[in-house]
Amino acid sequence: MKLKTMLIGLAAAAVISTPAMAVGGLKDAYKDAFVIGAALNSGEIMGNNKLADAIVAKHFNSISPENDLKWENIQPGPERYNFTVPDAYVALGEKNHFYTVGHVLVWHSQTPSWVFEGKNGGPATKEELLARLKDHIFTVVGRYKGKIKSWDVVNEVVGDDGKMRQSPWYKIGGEELFVKAFQWAHEADPAAELTYNDYNIENPNKRAEALAFVKRMKAAGAPITQVGIQGHYTLDVPDLKLLDDTISDFAKLGVKIAITELDIDVLPRPNLGATADVAVHLAEDPKLNPYVHGLPEAVQQKLAERYATVFAICLKHKDVITRVTLWGVTDADTWHNGWPIPNRTAHSLLFDRAGNAKPAVDAIIAVAQH
Ligand code: XIL
């Protein structure tokens, strides 16, 4: 049987099989394969969301910080660090023995403009930028040494055009800056998993450059250990056969693979393809917000099948997959409520707004039990 047929068959069987599985949560069903994570927002980190707390306790054994370790939050001004929420995040991970993830060190988004500005006006020089990055990495990675197990060192360095993204990091620092970022992160915490993270690298064109980037990083002596496939999907895009191929391709380079930001948007998304570019903003239109009063059963089933297929593929590759992380806990907090169109009612995650597990949860568990 062809892989695609097999996986879809498996996912469909998982969806129709009876619930009431004899296991606890997702993390228990996948305990022999990989850890299962969820991204937490500031409120969840600070213990202000009891609903989310209960879900995380039952289903997840890894956490990622949705926004609080991004540069604009952790170092909003030069040498002005803000550790309150990050410290609480890391303490939460330690208390619960979670596999705690750091996100993110080098990214063109959510990095304040001062980082790229020179002391004497105009853009920062390469030396200035490298000095700031070095300080940032040693301060942040060093502070959580041994506690944060995996760092997203560089994020989204390849553009949707399949070429290196012309970000200020790249334009000022060149590829050497990315090599140094990995080396400094490794120096600051030699035990941490160090990740290059990106979206839409399932797409063969973009994937080709992402693969070449990993090869160049390794050749230049960057201690890169993992590739993060973000996994911001819709019900139709991408064809998940591409995910299967992508995992195989990166595994051949000798890196591990994590699915770092999984969610599946069910809302209409005109002409966007598979982008997860946070800079994209489309205008509000009621026609593009069809499920304000809940998700129709047929769409709910399609969502469950799609999630089950993603997990079936990851399970097939469990030797190289370290983790599958959902980008949020419940639909109340998915970033898709505001991106790419503001004020919508999104249904992208595994738990609805009331915290109820969707059919997708049992479907994913059933995949592990087959
Ligand atoms: C998103 C957050 O979920 C939003 O709250 C924030 O407004 C924008 O960023 N790729 C990434 C994540 O690496 O950090 C992004 O998270 C989603 C896309």
The ranges assigned to domains in the chain are 3-369
Q: Give CA angle at 26 (24, 32), nearest 5°.
A: 95
Percent of the chain surpassing pLDDT 70: 94
State the average pLDDT over residues 151-164: 98
| pTM across the whole model | 0.95
Q: How far is the CA of 277 from the centre of ligand 1 (A)?
A: 9
Is 100's C-beta closer than 6 angstroms to any atom of ligand 1? no
**CB-CB contact of 152 with 197 (8 Å):** yes
State the average pLDDT over residues 62-72: 98
Nearest residue (CA) to ligand 1, atom 12:
66
- pLDDT greater than 90 at residue 252: yes
Separation of CA 124 from chain center: 29
Is 185's C-beta closer than 6 angstroms to any atom of ligand 1? no
Q: Give whole-number Cα distances, 255 to 193, 196, 212, 338, 352, in Å.
A: 10, 10, 13, 33, 34
- pLDDT greater than 70 at residue 71: yes
DSSP character for 77? Answer: B
Is 66's C-beta closer than 6 angstroms to any atom of ligand 1? yes
Cα–Cα distance measured from residue 193 to residue 185, given in angstroms and rounded to the nearest whole number = 10
Q: How confident is the model at residue 11 (pLDDT cuts 50, 70, 90)?
A: low
Q: Give the per-residue pLDDT at 121.
A: 87
Q: pLDDT per residue over 191-245, tens digit each?
A: 999 999 999 999 999 999 999 999 999 999 999 999 999 999 999 999 999 999 9
Q: Give the per-residue pLDDT at 23.
A: 59
- pLDDT greater than 50 at residue 18: no
Site to probe by mutation for ligand 1, drawn from 41, 63, 67, 74 as the one with most ligand atoms within 8 Å of Cβ, is: 67
Q: Does the domain made of 3-369 have the CATH classification 3.40.250.10?
A: no
Q: pLDDT per residue over 110-150, tens digit each?
A: 999 999 999 888 999 999 999 999 999 999 999 999 999 99
Q: Which residue in this structure is represented by tokens 């619930």?
A: 19
Q: Give the per-residue pLDDT at 271.
A: 78
Q: Give the per-residue pLDDT at 20.
A: 44
156 is catalytic: yes
What is the 3-state secondary structure of 121-160? CCECCHHHHHHHHHHHHHHHHHHCCCCCCEEEEEECCECC
176 is catalytic: no
Q: Please state the φ and ψ torsions of residue 346, each to the nearest 5 degrees.
A: -90, 160
- pLDDT greater than 70 at residue 249: yes
Q: SS3 for 59?
A: helix
More confidently predicted of 280 and 349: 349
Cα–Cα distance measured from residue 123 to residue 73, given in angstroms and rounded to the nearest whole number = 22
Q: Give the per-residue pLDDT at 21.
A: 47
Is 155's C-beta closer than 6 angstroms to any atom of ligand 1? yes
Q: Which atom of ligand 1 is nearest to the CA of 335?
A: 3
Q: How many CB atoms lie within 10 A of CB 110?
A: 13
Cα–Cα distance measured from residue 219 to residue 179, given in angstroms and rounded to the nearest whole number = 10
**CB-CB contact of 73 with 109 (8 Å):** no
Q: Give the per-residue pLDDT at 19.
A: 47
